[in-house]
Amino acid sequence: GAVVSQHPSRVICKSGTSVKIECRSLDFQATTMFWYRQFPKQSLMLMATSNEGSKATYEQGVEKDKFLINHASLTLSTLTVTSAHPEDSSFYICSARAARAYNEQFFGPGTRLTVL
């Protein structure tokens, strides 16, 4: 299957700082990327869907000003957690999908964020 990378894999930051997470599709063009959050022992929660070159669509309850998503190219999307707080500590996972390839959604390895 296709490869999706995420960077960093782990990040620890102080409360109030901003953290940027990158998601890259390495061998295909990802017209759509998804950002998920997963708290311990819970299922994936979709935060937002981003299509290359357009604004992200956020799920209900997700603050767009706090979780900034940029999908400027067909191989890169970034999630910036602004003014992070301890309650933002979670496992953030991105996934990517090529145009019209609805049956193929590939996941990155995830980023473990810990906010002190």
Partner 1 sequence: GQNIDQPTEMTATEGAIVQINCTYQTSGFNGLFWYQQHAGEAPTFLSYNVLDGLEEKGRFSSFLSRSKGYSYLLLKELQMKDSASYLCAALDSNYQLIWGAGTKLIIKP
Q: How far is the CB of 28 from partner 1 (least distance, A)?
A: 14
Q: Does 49 bind partner 1 (CB under 8 A)?
A: yes
Taking CB under 8 A as the rule, does residue 62 contact partner 1?
no
Compute the radius of gyration of the chain from its Cα atoms: 13
* 35 is an interface residue for partner 1 by CB under 8 A: no
Is the CB of residue 13 less than 8 Å from the CB of residue 115?
Answer: yes
Task: Report if residue 1 touches partner 1, rule: CB under 8 A.
Answer: yes
2 vs 13 by CB, closer to partner 1:
2
For partner 1, the closer CB: 63 or 104: 104
Return the beta strands (E) in 39-110 as ranges: 45-51, 57-58, 67-73, 76-81, 90-97, 106-107
What are the structure tokens assigned to 32, written together? 């759509």
58 in contact with partner 1 (CB under 8 A) = no
Site for partner 1 in 69-108 (CB under 8 A): 91, 93, 102-108
> 42-75: b or e for each residue (b if 16 or more CB lie within 10 Å)?
eeeeebbbbbbeeebebeeebeeeebbbebeebb
Give the residue with the Cβ less far from partner 1, 74 or 82: 74
